Each structure stands twice: as C-alpha cells, then as structure tokens.
Amino acid sequence: MAAKPVVNGIDKQLEGRVRIVRFDVASANGKKVAAKVGLDMVPTFIAYDSEGVERWRTQGTPNRVELWQRLIKL
C-alpha cells in the first residue's frame, strides 16, 4: 500500500498526540466498520475530534503534508 509509509511516519511523529486506527476491510470486523462509517474507497482517512465528531475525510493515497497539517490541528 502506497499510503503505508506516509501513515507510519506520521504515526511515529505524532505518537501520543493522535491515535491512528487501521483495519482490514476484507475481514468480518473490517466490513462492519466500513459499513458503519460509509467507506466506498480504500484507503480512506477519517479524522475525529476528541468528542468523536468526524472533522474531515479524504480518500486515496494521502499527501503527507496535507495529512500532517490536518492531524496536528485536531
């Protein structure tokens, strides 16, 4: 997955400030989560604030700078 190195780097840099959750949409649990949050493309990145409110969503391989800027604002 082309997004994996970008997400891994950001996850490491923001450790303790944000929580990145990954799941396999092909698994039974992953299918349930995908249906619940309305995924129609992989990868999809969804950011929630501390109250659980969705603040933004993007699909496809992320731009590292954009992903970083959005995450540090949460």
Alpha helices in the chain (DSSP H): 4-13, 28-37, 64-72
Low-confidence ranges of the chain (pLDDT < 50): none
What is the number of helices (H) and of strands (E) in the chain? Answer: 3, 2
Q: Would you state the pLDDT for residue 39?
A: 94
The distance of Cα 64 from the centroid of its chain, to the nearest Å, equals 12
Q: What is the pLDDT of residue 18?
A: 86
Instruction: Report domain extents, the chain.
Output: 4-72
Superfamily name and number for 4-72: Glutaredoxin (3.40.30.10)
Given the DSSP bridges, would you call strands 54-59 and 44-48 parallel, antiparallel or unpaired? antiparallel
Task: Tell me the pLDDT tens digit for each residue of 15-31.
Answer: 888 888 999 999 999 99
pTM: 0.81
